[in-house]
Amino acid sequence: MNGQSATIKAFEEKLSAQLQEAKSQIDGIEARAKGKMAQAEIDAIKGLKTQSQEIEKKRQDLKTSGEAKAAQLKSEIEADMARFKTIGSIGHEGQEPGGYEVS
């Protein structure tokens, strides 16, 4: 395995762990909020799940891509994850999307 391949593999493993953590957070938000949400919050959670699936697809593509395509995919994934983390931070600190407290 050359240096580039090792770097891509390490990135892929880190990304996989981050995606798993994000999925767990989304599931937790959804579970706490069931029955308390407006349609906007339900739609936001669905959007986060869709975005997570799109990032996962790119991660899978990264495994089979050539070196030139890998750099582009890595850049796209990093940008997607930054947006995902920003959006996914809704619901932290005991708050649901929309800012109300969860009991």
Q: Could you tell me the residue ranges of all domains in the chain?
A: 3-88
Q: Supply 4's token pair.
A: 């580039």
Whose CA is closest to 43, among 94, 101, 87, 102? 87
* Helix intervals (H) in the chain: 3-33, 39-64, 67-88
- pLDDT at 102 > cutoff 60: no
The DSSP symbol for 2 reads: -
- Using pLDDT thresholds of 50, 70 and 90, give the confidence band for residue 35: low
At residue 97, the pLDDT reads 42
Q: What is the mean pLDDT of residues 38-65?
A: 84
CB 55 within 8 A of CB 23: no
Whose CA is closest to 48, among 34, 32, 28, 62? 28
Would the CA dihedral through 36, 40, 45, 46 be positive or negative? positive
**pTM of the predicted structure, to 2 decimals:** 0.53
- Mean pLDDT for all residues in the chain: 77
At residue 82, the pLDDT reads 85
Would the CA dihedral through 34, 39, 41, 44 be positive or negative? positive
CB 33 within 8 A of CB 41: yes
pLDDT digits (tens, 9 = 90+) for 58-98: 888 888 887 878 888 888 888 888 887 776 665 544 444 44
- Using pLDDT thresholds of 50, 70 and 90, give the confidence band for residue 100: very low
